[in-house]
Structure 1
Amino acid sequence: MSIHSTSGRWRLGLGLALLTTFLWGILPLGLAIILQALDVYTVTWFRFLIAFILLGGYLATRQQLPDIQKWRLMPWGLLAIATIFLAANYVLFLQGLALTSPTNAEVLIQLSPVLMGLGAIVFFKERYTRLQGLGLGVLTLGFSLFFNEQLRILVTASDQYLWGSFIIGVAAISWAIYALAQKQLLQQLPSTHIMWFIYGSCTILYLPIATPTAIFTLTPFQLLILLFCGLNTLIAYGAFAESLEHWEASRVSAVLALAPIITLIAVDLVALLFPLLIEPEHLTSLAIIGAILVVLGSMMIALGRKTWGA
């Protein structure tokens, strides 16, 4: 089986990866607010439903819906893998989050883009230059400093805390498998068709454990936040899928590593402007240095290429 190769339009791939990182970085704020009114399964089901409907409408208006007569030729095995592991990622992350803390969950889930990058090196024969290898070391050091306090807590934590952390680690593995399957699917299908199928399948998977009627009890503000979460899913995953078409998965994964930095900056900003909505994060000087190193390491990995391509 041939493997997917990028278009070489690295500037477009970088821009799409940055957009994905920003949207995933601010998403936890919206989820933290709406989860005060809805359960996690209903929120997740609604996010997939909105994304499925809007993307389907977009494809229909452009007459780009998948040809049903050609569905028998679709790579059902890879589509099933991508769908199941993305759905598993959502469930496992939520279960792990319930047993640990939001900050701990945020750092551990960052294993997912790292694992994606390593998987790309193994399966897609992508290679790091020396500068990118150095950048990976800087990135690792930055995360170690940035999450220093949380890592110390993890080492001395209770069995429940450790079990929750293990579940989040499995969630990260699930996401990496989904992402690698997504990249290989681009060999045969447009990214929009892949994501439309995954959105629809995940909507069906989550329906039995969701409570759709609870949405009618939301206030206008809560409904607006819920719609934001749904649109975030559509745009972020669409940009992510398209970025893999134009840029190597290992480079995309390096940019995605910036998401927790964006999250914590956004949390502090929203907490300053709307203190009743969310509590701020209190960063130490060591954490700030770590954040700078994370940004520097990600840039070294993303931009440290021998040749830029088209």
Structure 2
Amino acid sequence: MQLHSVSGKWRVGLALTLTTCFLWGILPLALNITLKVLDVYTLTGLRFLIAFIALGSYLTWKRQLPSWQRLQKVSFKLWGIATFFLAGNYLLFVSGLANTSATTAEVLIQIAPVFMGLGAMIIFKERYTRRQWCGLGILVLGFILFFNEQLKMMISSPNQYLFGSFLIFWAAVCWAIYALAQKQLLLQLPSAHIMFGIYGGSTLLFAPFSTSQTVLNLNLLELAILLFCGLNTLIAYGAFAEALEHWEASKVSAVLAITPIVTLVCVGIFSSLSPALVTPEHHTPVAILGAFLVVAGSATIALGRSPKLV
């Protein structure tokens, strides 16, 4: 079986991955606000619908909608797997977020890029150098230090966090399966066409469970945040899918590991601006040290040279 190979434009891949990091980092804050007025099925379905309409409009304007002749060459089984597991990731993550906090959710969802990286090493034969393995060790140590308080809270308050943590763990598994399927689909279609089909299929999956009437009760701020959630889906996953075109999946997954830092920085900024919407959080010097180690470990993995395969 022919496997997808990257273009080698690692700087483009890094820039696109960092874009995804920022958008995914700020997303839990917006989702937490929207979950106060919408149920998880309606919120998830609307996110996919907004992304589907926006991307479809763009492709129509550019006259780049996929032709039927090209679609006949696509593996619809693989496309269906990517759609089902991304839809599952969205639903499980939002459901887990409703039972935890933004920070806890971002800690646990980092299992996803780890699974993705390991899967890429098995399926796509990507390899880590010794320096990259050291970077992975630094990254893990950084997460242990950085999220020490959150992990203690999860252990001491199982009734509040255990169920949400369970859901987010499986959200991570679903995401890793989607990401690997998405990478292989790049052999058959451009990333925009793949995501257009995934958004449309996911919209149909959630349509029977959504309650559209609740949207009519949203105020302007809530509508704006909902729109942001949908556009965040479009731009973040578009950047992620394109990053896989140019950079190894294992390195993309390493950079994505800094997403929780983005979340915590955003929590600090927005909680100072509007504490009624975002609860402030406080961090110890040990947690700050952990943040630096996470960044250092991610950079070591991402920028390390992969060995040549013979």
TM-score, scaled to structure 1: 0.94
AA matched with 2:117? G
Provide the residue aligned with 1:116 in structure 2. 116
Provide the residue aligned with 1:305 in structure 2. 305
Segment drifting more, 69-78 vs 38-47: 69-78
| 1:180-234 Cα deviation digits (max 9, x unpaired) | 0000100111000100000000011111111122212111111111111111111
Provide the residue aligned with 1:239 in structure 2. 239
Q: Does 1:72 align with 2:72?
A: yes
Structure 2 unaligned regions, length at least 5? none
Measure the CA separation in 2 of the matches of 1:214 and 1:97. 20
Provide the residue aligned with 1:214 in structure 2. 214
Provide the residue aligned with 1:131 in structure 2. 131
Any conservation in 1 of the 2:35–2:98 contact (CA below 8 Å)?
no
CA RMSD of aligned residues (A): 1.8
Q: 1:306 to 1:123 in 2, by over 3 A?
A: closer
Provide the residue aligned with 2:228 in structure 1. 228
Measure the CA separation in 1 of the matches of 2:183 and 2:228. 26
AA matched with 1:222? E
Measure the CA separation in 2 of the matches of 1:230 and 1:134. 37
Provide the residue aligned with 2:203 in structure 1. 203
Provide the residue aligned with 2:2 in structure 1. 2
| 1:54-100 Cα deviation digits (max 9, x unpaired) | 11111111111111244332211110110111111122223333444
Any conservation in 1 of the 2:119–2:180 contact (CA below 8 Å)?
yes
Measure the CA separation in 1 of the matches of 2:302 and 2:201. 32
AA matched with 1:270? F
Q: Does 1:16 align with 2:42?
A: no
TM-score, scaled to structure 2: 0.94
Provide the residue aligned with 2:143 in structure 1. 143
Q: Within 5 Å, which residues of 2 pair with 1:26-105?
A: 26-105=26-105
Measure the CA separation in 2 of the matches of 1:221 and 1:196. 27
Any conservation in 1 of the 2:129–2:307 contact (CA below 8 Å)?
no
Q: Aligned pairs, how many? A: 308
Q: 1:288 to 1:160 in 2, by over 3 A?
A: closer
Segment drifting more, 152-161 vs 4-13: 152-161
| 1:141-176 Cα deviation digits (max 9, x unpaired) | 000111112223444553774344233212111100
| 1:91-148 Cα deviation digits (max 9, x unpaired) | 2223333444443322111100111111111111111111111100000000011111
AA matched with 2:106? E
State, as a whole percentage, how many aligned pairs show the same letter: 62
Measure the CA separation in 2 of the matches of 1:99 and 1:56. 33
Q: Secondary structure at the match of 2:72?
A: helix
Q: 1:250 to 1:214 in 2, by over 3 A?
A: same
Provide the residue aligned with 2:257 in structure 1. 257
Measure the CA separation in 2 of the matches of 1:89 and 1:306. 30
Measure the CA separation in 2 of the matches of 1:170 and 1:220. 34
The Cα of 1:45 is off from its aligned counterpart by 1.1
Q: Secondary structure at the match of 1:73?
A: coil
| 1:10-30 Cα deviation digits (max 9, x unpaired) | 110100000000111111121
Measure the CA separation in 1 of the matches of 2:283 and 2:26. 18
Measure the CA separation in 1 of the matches of 2:58 and 2:140. 40
Measure the CA separation in 2 of the matches of 1:146 and 1:193. 38
Measure the CA separation in 1 of the matches of 2:100 and 2:230. 25
Q: Secondary structure at the match of 2:128?
A: coil
Structure 1 unaligned regions, length at least 5? none
AA matched with 2:27? L
| 1:215-267 Cα deviation digits (max 9, x unpaired) | 12111111111111111111000000000000000110011111110001001
The Cα of 1:306 is off from its aligned counterpart by 5.4
Provide the residue aligned with 1:267 in structure 2. 267
The Cα of 1:285 is off from its aligned counterpart by 1.3
Q: Secondary structure at the match of 2:79?
A: helix
